[in-house]
Structure 1
Amino acid sequence: MNLFIDAIAWILDPANWSGPGSIPQRIWEHVWITAVVLLIASAIALPTGALIGHTGRGREPAVRISGGLRALPTLGVLTLFGIWIGIGLAAPIIALVILAIPPLLAGAYAGFESVDRRTIDAARAVGMRESQIVGRVELPLGMPIVVGGIRSATLQIIATATLAAYIADDGLGRFIFAGLKTRDYAEMLGGSILVILLALVADGILALTQRRVVPAGVRASRITDLRSRPTRSRAVVGQPIHEGNPE
C-alpha cells in the first residue's frame, strides 16, 4: 500500500510534469507510437480483411497467419529487429505492427462476414455494383465488429509499446525501465499506472465509437425486437399473468 501511495505521489509531483522526459512528453510519445503503428497495421490488415470477408476466399490462410503472428513473442521480435536495424524507433514500430495485424485482420473479415447474405443478394438484385455493396452495405453493417478489432489492437499496442523503451528512449515504458534499473519502484509503478490510465481512456473512446457506428436502422430494429416479445402466460397464485404485448 505504501508503494502505491509513493507511486501516486510520484505522478502528482510537479517536478515530473515539466522539462525533458516529463510525464506529458512521455504520454505524447506513447500516443504517437500507438497512432503510427495503428495506421500502418490498418493499411495492411483492414483492406485484406475486407477482401477476404467480401469474397469469402483466403479465410483459412488468414486465420493461420493471424494465429501464427499472435504466437510470436513480442520481446523476441523486438530484440531481433533491434539487432538487425539498430537502436531507434524503427524496430519497435515493426514489432508492434506485427502484433497489431491479427486483431485488425480478424475484426475486418469477421465484420464483413457478419452481414446477412440475403441482404447482399438483395443489393445485387437491385443493380448495385460490388464496390457499392462493399461501401454502402457491408461496411456500414460490419463496422461495429471492425471497430471492435481496432479497439482490441489499440489496447494491445498501448500495453506493448512500453517495450519501445527497451531499445529507444521513447514512451511511458521509459519510466518502467528507468525505475527498474535504479530500483525506484515508485517511478516504475507510476509509469505502469499511467499506461493503464491511457489504455482505459483509449478503450472508453473506442467503446463509444463502437456504439455510435451501429447503423440507425439496426438500432431501431433491436428496439423493435425487444418491444415485440411473444405473449406468454405465467401462473401466479392460480391466476395467469400475461406478459408481452396484448393482442
Structure 2
Amino acid sequence: MLGEAYAYYLANQTRFWTEFGRHLTLSGAALGISILVCLPLGIWAARHAASAQYLINAVGTLRLVPSLAILFLAQPYLGTGFTPALIALTVLALPPILINVYAGLLGVERAIVEAAQGMGMTVQQQLLQIELPLALPVILAGIRIAAVEVISSATLAAFIGAGGLGIFITRGFALFEPRIMLVGAVPIALLALGSDLLLGQAERWATSYRS
C-alpha cells in the first residue's frame, strides 16, 4: 500500500507540493499570530494575577471545544477558504501558549526579580533580560503543544475549502482509496513529529541555558 501511495504521489507531485505549502502556510500563520497575541496577554496576566484568572479560565475553556467544531462555527460568519481556517486554528493554539506564558512568568522566583530591581534595572529590562529568559522553557513547551495541535488540526481545513494535505485524506476517504489517504496522512504525521522534536530540543536547550 505504501508503494501504491508513493506511485500516486509521483503522478500528482505538483498538486502535492501545492497543498503541502498551503498546509505549512496555514499552520505557520496560525501559530505565529497566536504567539504574537499570547505573549503580551500572558505578560499582562502575570502582572495582574488576581483579575487575570477570568481571562485564563475563559481561554482554557477553548480547549474543550473540538477543532472540527471551531472550524464549522467560523464558517457561517466568514464563509469558506483560508481566512476561517486561519481564525479557527489560531483560536485552537491560544490556550496552551497563553497558559504557559502566564505560568512561566509566575514561576520566576521573586527573589531574582527583586535582586534585578535592586540593581536598578527598569521594568522592561527585568522582563527582557530576566523574566522571559527564565520562563522560556515553559513558554516553548506551550508553543510545542500548540504546534502539534495546529499541524494536526489543519488537516480538517480541507472540509471548508482551505486546502492543505487534508485534501488527500478527504479524497481518499470519499473514493475508498487508502493509498490516497496515506499521501496526506504520512506527511502530516511527519510534520507533527518533526515540530515536536524540534521544539522539544529547543525547550531542552533553554532549560540547560537557564541552569
Structure 2 length normalisation: TM-score?
0.92
Q: 1:51 aligns with which of 32, 44, 49?
A: 44
In 2, distance between residues paired with 1:97 and 1:52?
19
Q: Is the 8 A contact 2:85 2:162 kept in 1?
A: no
Q: 1:14 to 1:85 in 2, by over 3 A?
A: closer
Q: What are the Cα deviations for residues 80-102 of structure 1, in whole angstroms up to 9, with x where unaligned?
A: 22122212111111111111100
* Of 172, 178, 194, the match for 1:185: 178
Q: 2:6 aligns with which of 11, 30, 35?
A: 11
Cα shift readout 1:50-76 (whole Å, capped 9, x = no counterpart): 222244343311331122211123222
Residue of structure 2 aligned with 1:124, choices 117, 120, 126:
117
1:244 maps to none
Q: Which has the higher contact order (CA 8 A, sep 6+)?
A: 2
CA distance in 1, matches of 2:148, 2:109: 29
- Which structure's CA Rg is the greater one? 1
- The residue number in structure 1 matching 2:207 is 214
Q: Which runs of 4+ in 1 moved over 6 A?
A: none
Q: C-alpha distance in 2, partners of 1:25/1:90?
A: 18
Does the 8 A contact of 2:8 with 2:179 survive in 1? no
Q: Which runs of 5+ in 2 are unaligned?
A: none
When residues 85 and 157 of structure 1 are mapped into structure 2, their CA distance, relative to the original with a 3 A threshold, is same
With over 3 angstroms needed to count, the CA separation of the structure-2 counterparts of 1:122 and 1:99, relative to structure 1, is: same
Secondary structure of 2:207 counterpart: coil
1:99 is matched with 92
Computed over aligned residues only, the root mean square deviation of the Cα atoms, in angstroms, reads 1.8
More helix by percentage:
2
> Greater strand share, 1 or 2?
1
Tell me the equivalent position of 2:54: 61
Measured after TM superposition, the shift of residue 17 of structure 1 is 5.4
CA distance in 1, matches of 2:178, 2:159: 17
Give the aligned length. Answer: 211
Equivalent residue for 1:159?
152
Which blocks of at least 5 consecutive residues in structure 1 are unaligned?
A: 1-5, 220-247
Q: CA deviation at 1:198?
A: 0.8
Percentage identity across aligned positions? 31
